[in-house]
A and B are shown apart, each in its own frame.
Chain A
Amino acid sequence: MANDLARWQFATTTIYHFFFVPVTIGLAFLVAILQTVWYRTDNPDYKRMTRFFGTLLLINVAIGVVTGLVQEFQFGMNWSTYSRFVGGVFGAPLAMEGILAFFLESTFLGLWVFGWDRLPKRVHLACIWAVSAGTMLSAMFILVANSWMQHPVGYKLGSQGQAVLTNVWALLVNPTFVWGYAHVILASLVTGCLVMLAVSAWYLRKGEHVESFHRTAKVALIVLIPTIVIQLSVGNQLGEIENKYQPMKIAAAEAQWTNCKPCSFSAFQIGGGNNDKTPTEIIPIPHLLSVLATGTWSGPVTGLDELQTQYEAKYGPGNYVPDVFIQYWSMRVMAYLGSLVLLLALWGGWLLQRNKLRSSRLFLWISVWAVITPFLMNTAGWLLTESGRQPWIVQGLQKTINANSPSVSVTEIWISLAVFVLSYIVLAWADLALMLRYSRRGMAHADAEAAEPAAGGAPALTY
């Protein structure tokens, strides 16, 4: 019970945290681009757009930061057995994240927010790029740590059975990390682009500040098109890597119970799950699963039943099959929505080239609503990754069921879960209220901020 509750709490707080993280990474990069264009062209339009989207970024960062604190505390609070076991390996990237990324991000964010009128333009521009670098470095160390849980490398087991780091380089070239990190950064850029596109489209539809928002819609699309194309192939590559090191994860994502060669991919299925091995498959596409999982036309995929037998022989009796329903559908949410975003991006690019972007009301309407898709895809991606590792917390080394804190009671977790959920609802309400308010009325504010301060007057207060 305590273990289940601790898992629920970890899942809830992590999914919530990861609504904000990709927006921060993506928007920080895009705001840095807007400011760079302003710096290069001296066009004041780009300055006001930098300030406008900069404010959206800040509203979002505030929650990303505070919910990130929970993440760092939670390993020790709820998963002390896990922390004791992995700290010697897993802790190092977290400490490095603090020293190399968080200091960079937060110090330069302060300099950027308060430095508009005090720093030379060039230095001020460098500050937002430092923030962007900080956000991406932070994701890097988290992915190093997480990838070690998916595919442990560079360690040995110590005298008390704890993991001991033996090769830090192995952690950094862990294939699960390399591809996983690329996937997360690209996903963040897609998220940032779709947020920027949605806000821009909303203004273009209303016919307000058309010139300014046409520019930002263009920047968003120019970044989005190559990003989503690369992302789809990186995602595919990551699938192959995972199939190699965590075959259960991919077999479950295809609800593939029996061995197959070649393997087909079902577009949809009715039924399915761990207790229904023969769901009704809709639109099976021959060879596609072989291509996705192995990179070859007729490659074999080992089925869940066979894997279960292998795992029992290796690790002893137990159930080693992850939740097939979650795997199957989270894979499809990512793949299908990703493809739709690709179509939207190409459509936008085509409109842009024909100079019809501002007049295509259907495209603009869809673009506003498309802002929901990256959040669904991001959540699905982490569900696939984390749920697909179960029953392991560290693949092959420690099971989740054995990893929680023995000294923390069920009552205590109920209290913390309730407190976090309530707090997060309040934070979400405040965040959404401000985000929507600023998205709709923020231009006047951005203009006021972008105006040069009156000569001789004291600088305006920022907070």
Chain B
Amino acid sequence: MQLHTIWFIVITVLWIGFFVLEGFDFGVGALHMFIGKSEAGRRVAINTIGPWWDGNEVWLIVAGASMFAAFPGWYATMFSALYLALVLLLVALFGRGVSFEYRGKRESQRWRNGWSWALTIGSILIPLLVGVALGDLLHGLPIDSRHEFTGNFFSLLTGYGLMTGVTLLVLSLLHGATFLALRTTDEIRDRARAAGRVIGVVAIVLDIAWCIWTLVVIGGGTVPQPTQIFGVIAVIFATLLASTENDGWAFVASGFAIAAVIGQIFIALYPNVMVSSTNDAYNLTVNNAASGHYALVVMTVVVVLFFPIVLLYQGWSFHVFRRRVSAPPTSSG
């Protein structure tokens, strides 16, 4: 296998890792006001992801930086094409990223509500926008022979891109609900499960519709792909399990459902990395967008040596805070 194909796989894994890990953070962020209800409940919800969300977000940064390093052409075309969408994404990332740390630092209810809204809106916008971006890679954007984007902001709003965004948003909500059910106790856990059941039904419908649309976009005929079948089964399981005591398995299933969507996009994309809707000959591919061989060798060595260590300590951090979170009996927040 050639090195640029290996790096395409590495980048796919990073995007999957980002959405599986940060997906539940988005879900919790978007749902915390509604499932938490009281101030104490909201804090419980936020604290379920407290130790991890920042480390999970690094997967996004590493995915972006790896695209820059391994496929400069891909990074350059994609990031300049998605210009205004990324500005919006960054604002969402500002509001959400700061809200965790700032929200609880003042006793004022207005201050806390403000940051709660920043967290909610940010957590909805990010998976939606990133989903649109990933969908657009596969659907294709107007790109010329020099690999420059020739459209404008509205060219980014492709039907398939929007569908991908909404699907990933709803799957993130489901993932957040199963995560909250797994990490909390009593009423919050009950409410999270109830939410999981409702969101799950919507997610099943969207996931199936998205799979069909994907087949249309890639011209793959009427036979569903293995990843798609796997993904739909996972989302059905997540929804069914959300009604039972099996919080852990429901969470695993919702994670697989997200992984299947991201995996499917990248599998369908290869060997392209970004499709040109202007002309197939202008597609960016793993060949024409890649860095030199030596740079890829260096990066491969770094990943092989250090990524297992990252997985170890990140896994350890999940292990340390595995206990369910509940509000202290006397605390008013």
Chains A and B belong together in one complex: yes
Give the B-binding residues of A (Cβ under 8 A).
55, 58-59, 61-63, 65-67, 69-70, 72-73, 75-78, 80-81, 83-92, 94-100, 102-104, 106-111, 113-115, 118-119, 158, 162, 164-166, 168, 405-409, 412, 415-416, 419-420, 423, 427, 430, 434, 437-438, 457-463
Cβ A437 vs Cβ B106 within 8 A: yes
Q: What B residues does A75 contact at CB under 8 A? A: 68, 75, 79
User: In chain B, what residue has the closest Cβ to A165?
Assistant: B295
A301 to B84, CA, bound (A): 47
Cβ B80 vs Cβ A77 within 8 A: yes
Q: What B residues does A80 contact at CB under 8 A? A: 76-77, 79-80, 148
**Which residue of B72, B78, B91, B103 contacts A162 across the interface (Cβ within 8 Å)?**
B72
A84 to B46, CA, bound (A): 40
Stretch of B47-55, B219-227, B238-246, B270-278 that contacts chain A = B47-55
**Which residue of B55, B70, B106, B292 contacts A106 across the interface (Cβ within 8 Å)?**
B55
Cβ B295 vs Cβ A164 within 8 A: yes
Give the A-binding residues of B (Cβ under 8 A).
43-44, 46-47, 50-55, 57-58, 61-62, 64-66, 68-73, 75-84, 86-87, 90-91, 93-94, 97-98, 100-106, 147-150, 152-153, 291-292, 294-295, 298-299, 302-303, 306-307, 310, 313-314, 317, 320-321, 325-331, 333
**Which residue of B50, B53, B94 contacts A462 across the interface (Cβ within 8 Å)?**
B50
With A70-B90, A114-B51 given, is the CB distance from A84 to B98 under 8 Å? no
Min Cβ gap B203→A in Å is 28
Cβ A98 vs Cβ B291 within 8 A: no
Q: What B residues does A409 contact at CB under 8 A? A: 152
A33 to B298, CA, bound (A): 35
With A84-B73, A165-B298 given, is the CB distance from A58 to B101 under 8 Å? yes
Min Cβ gap B60→A in Å is 8
Min Cβ gap B49→A in Å is 9
User: In chain A, what residue has the closest Cβ to B61?
Assistant: A98
Q: Can you give 24 A-B contacts (C-beta < 8 A)?
A: A59-B105, A62-B97, A62-B102, A73-B79, A75-B68, A87-B71, A87-B73, A88-B291, A92-B291, A99-B307, A102-B61, A103-B313, A106-B57, A110-B50, A110-B52, A110-B53, A110-B55, A110-B317, A111-B317, A405-B80, A434-B106, A437-B105, A462-B50, A463-B101
Task: Pick the 5 closest A-B CB pairs, nearest first.
Answer: A87-B72, A76-B79, A91-B69, A98-B62, A110-B51
Cβ B298 vs Cβ A168 within 8 A: yes
Q: What B residues does A113 contact at CB under 8 A? A: 50-51
Cβ B83 vs Cβ A103 within 8 A: no
Min Cβ gap A215→B in Å is 25
With A83-B72, A87-B291, A423-B94 given, is the CB distance from A114 to B50 under 8 Å? yes
Min Cβ gap B302→A in Å is 6
User: In chain B, what residue has the closest Cβ to A158?
Assistant: B292
Cβ B65 vs Cβ A59 within 8 A: no
**Which residue of B83, B302, B320 contacts A96 across the interface (Cβ within 8 Å)?**
B302
Cβ A97 vs Cβ B47 within 8 A: no
Interface centre among B47, B69, B80, B291 (most CB of A within 10 A): B80
User: In chain B, what residue has the closest Cβ to A169?
Assistant: B298
Q: What A residues does B87 contact at CB under 8 A? A: 77, 415-416, 419-420
Cβ A111 vs Cβ B328 within 8 A: no
Cβ A102 vs Cβ B90 within 8 A: no
User: In chain A, what residue has the closest Cβ to B310?
Assistant: A103
Cβ B321 vs Cβ A103 within 8 A: no
Cβ A166 vs Cβ B294 within 8 A: yes
With A66-B97, A72-B65, A407-B81 given, is the CB distance from A110 to B54 under 8 Å? yes
Other than the given A92-B295, A95-B299, A461-B44, 17 more pairs (CB < 8 A) read A66-B98, A76-B79, A80-B76, A92-B69, A92-B299, A94-B68, A100-B302, A103-B313, A104-B310, A164-B291, A164-B292, A164-B295, A412-B83, A416-B87, A457-B330, A458-B326, A459-B328
A115 to B314, CA, bound (A): 14
Q: Taking chain A's interface residues, is the majority helix, strand, or loop, or is none over half, making it mixed?
A: helix
Min Cβ gap A13→B in Å is 10
With A80-B80, A461-B47 given, is the CB distance from A119 to B62 under 8 Å? no
Q: What A residues does B55 contact at CB under 8 A? A: 103, 106-107, 110
Q: What A residues does B150 contact at CB under 8 A? A: 407
With A69-B61, A96-B302 given, is the CB distance from A115 to B106 under 8 Å? no
Cβ B310 vs Cβ A88 within 8 A: no
Min Cβ gap B130→A in Å is 12
Cβ B329 vs Cβ A457 within 8 A: yes
Q: What A residues does B303 contact at CB under 8 A? A: 99
A166 to B303, CA, bound (A): 19
Q: What A residues does B79 contact at CB under 8 A? A: 73, 75-77, 80, 83
Cβ A69 vs Cβ B93 within 8 A: yes
Min Cβ gap B2→A in Å is 16
Q: What A residues does B64 contact at CB under 8 A? A: 72-73
Q: What A residues does B71 contact at CB under 8 A? A: 87
**Which residue of B65, B82, B91 contacts A95 across the interface (Cβ within 8 Å)?**
B65
Cβ B328 vs Cβ A98 within 8 A: no
A66 to B100, CA, bound (A): 12
**Which residue of A407, A437, A463 contacts B43 across the interface (Cβ within 8 Å)?**
A463
Interface centre among A115, A407, A409 (most CB of B within 10 A): A407
Q: What B residues does A114 contact at CB under 8 A? A: 50-51, 321
Cβ B328 vs Cβ A460 within 8 A: yes
User: In chain A, what residue has the closest Cβ to B14?
Assistant: A98
Min Cβ gap A286→B in Å is 49
Q: What A residues does B90 contact at CB under 8 A? A: 69-70, 73, 420
Cβ B101 vs Cβ A59 within 8 A: yes
